[in-house]
Amino acid sequence: MTYEKLVEGLPEPVFDLAFVRQRFAVSEAEKASLAVQLSRWEAKGKIIRLRRGLYALPKQRSNALETANRLVEPSYISGEYALSYFGLIQDATFEVTCACMNTPRRARLQQGNSRYSYRQVKVFGGFSSIEIDGKNVLFASPEKALVDTWHWSPGEWTRERHREMRYESRELVNGERLMSWAEKFPRRVCEAARIYLELGHEG
């Protein structure tokens, strides 16, 4: 297989080894030579290895958020990055925070100009697919993004600490759903959710 054939046959700039084998009908006997060919293209800078078995074409624009989901699978975008994306906090966050089910327990990855942080979460769920720039990206709901943030951040979430977050767009957060997720976490997360809702009623 030539490099030109690879590029022409890929519908997306991010691809994995299994997809290439299926797309180009690579036989069992050709699998080893395909891996060698990909390694050669990587050495020449024709493709970028994101992780073992996952690659990207360097000259085509990939969606950094879609890539975040694929670097560690399964995972979804959450934490302060999701809060910033939804407008729930004022501060912009440039490191994409992701919740994952399995390992790594906590890891930071750099791919080009994008930084990614992966953390295990106690309860994996509360996310859905959002279309961004024509790509489907797994994002936590506003309620789950809050709960994940409180869970990952050590210490108690006092009223003063909540106020320092400068929450906005509280209308996006459903109180019942928030408490439902918080109750699946340790007690301090439930307390954080309760105080968050109380502060919202105070205006």
Same domain as 96, residue 47: no
d(CA 125, CA 89): 22
Whether 72 and 45 share a structural domain = no
Backbone angles phi, psi at 81, to 5 degrees: -65, -45
Asked if residue 86 and residue 35 are part of one domain, the reply reads no
Spell out the per-residue pLDDT of the chain, length 203, in tens: 888 888 888 877 778 888 888 888 888 777 778 888 888 998 888 888 877 788 877 765 557 888 889 888 899 999 999 999 999 998 888 899 999 987 666 677 776 677 889 999 989 999 999 998 888 899 999 999 999 999 999 999 999 999 999 999 999 999 999 999 999 999 999 999 999 999 987 75
Structural domain boundaries, residue 22? 3-56
Q: Which long-range contacts (CB under 8 A, 24 or more apart) does 173-177 make?
A: 173/88, 173/142, 173/143, 173/146, 173/200, 174/143, 177/141, 177/143
Task: State whether 141 and 165 are in the same domain.
Answer: yes
pTM as predicted: 0.75
Are 37 and 116 in a shared domain?
A: no
